[in-house]
Structure 1
């Protein structure tokens, strides 16, 4: 099993992996969860897949993707868009509520957003614990290398149960809300203890 951090600068070094990640996102979010998201060429994408973002792929030797994560700086700008949580709060996304945060969404070079987190249902049960471990390790390492001391994310509302098991320190920064297929909550993940 491998972890690869993809960017627009290095995706040419990884063959089909970038496309495979977006195909896996389609499978996870459009096929399995039945979310109404944009797709083309059998891939899911949105307005936040820009050169400002980074993508983490957990995959095998031949590029089959098991899981993925997207990281976007809270300082990102592309036309009218910034990052997903902030744009939802600003009323730019009909699919997400505007009151998902208690306070104003941060814009800070040390805060990155973590979105499009998934593990494919087809990932064998025998690999899932390892996949989760690789995801957390890669997310923390990548975010720290990008200068992040905090991540914010929309996560399933049962996050307190499993964040601790993953060694993450997180705080709820918004109310629990039913979105699409379940209860979710915005959280802030503290990376300051992961500086070494």
Structure 2
């Protein structure tokens, strides 16, 4: 099992890995979850998959994607868009309620958004926890290399059950709310301390 942090600067050095991650996202988010998202060439994407973002991918030696995640700086701008949580709060996204945060969405050089976090449905249940832990560990490493100390993310509201198991200091940033039949919550992840 390997982890790679992709960017537009290094994407060429990793063969089909980026495309495979986007295909895995499509399989989960569009085919399985039935989310109405943009797609092309068998890949899911949205307005936040830009050169400003990074993608953390857990994969095998053949490039089969096991898990993935997108990181976007909270300072990002692309047309009217910034980052998903902030844009939802600003009322720009129809599928995410605008009252998802207690306070105004943060914007700062040391704060990034984590989104599109997934573990492939091809991964057997007994391997999901270690793969998820590896993904989150690499996410923390990537964030620190980018000069950031914090991430915010919209997660399943069951996050308190596993946060300590994967060694992350997490805290709620908004109310629990139902989206597509699942209780979700915006959570802050503090990466200032070293993860174990």
Corresponding residue number in structure 1 for 2:165: 165
Residue 195 to residue 147, structure 1, CA distance change in 2 (3 Å): farther
Contact in 2 for aligned 1:110/1:147 (Cα 8 Å): yes
Could you tell me how far apart the structure 1 residues matched to 2:164 and 2:112 are? 20
Matched, 1:73 2:73: yes
Query: Can you list the C-alpha shifts for 1:172-195, whole angstroms capped at 9, x where unaligned?
Result: 110000011300000111111128
**Whole-angstrom distance in 1 between the partners of 2:29 and 2:72:** 19
Secondary structure of the corresponding residue to residue 193 of structure 2 = helix
Partner of 1:189: 189
SS state of the match for residue 151, structure 1?
Answer: strand
The yes-or-no answer on 1:42 pairing with 2:26 is no
1:156 and 1:56 map into 2 onto residues whose CA distance is: 19
- Residue equivalent to 2:2: 2
Q: Provide the rounded CA distance (Å) in 1 between the counterparts of 2:95 and 2:194.
A: 33
Q: In 2, distance between residues paired with 1:123 and 1:181?
A: 23
Partner of 1:30: 30
Q: Scaled by the length of structure 1, what TM-score is found?
A: 0.97
CA shift for structure 1 position 16: 0.5
Is 1:151 equivalent to 2:151 in the alignment?
yes
Deviations 1:11-55 (A, max 9, x none): 000000000000000011111111111111000000000000000
Q: CA deviation at 1:158?
A: 0.7
Match of 2:123 in 1: 123
In the alignment, structure 1 segments of 5+ residues that lack a partner are none
The residue aligned with 2:137 is 137
Paired with 1:154 and 1:195, the residues of 2 have a C-alpha distance of 21
Cα deviation 1:86-120 (Å, max 9, x = unaligned): 00000110111110000000010100000000001
Unmatched tracts of structure 2, length 5 or more: none
Verify the 8 A CA contact 1:33 1:181 in the aligned structure 2: no
C-alpha RMSD of the superposition: 1.2
Whether the 8 Å CA contact 1:57–1:68 is kept in 2: the answer is yes
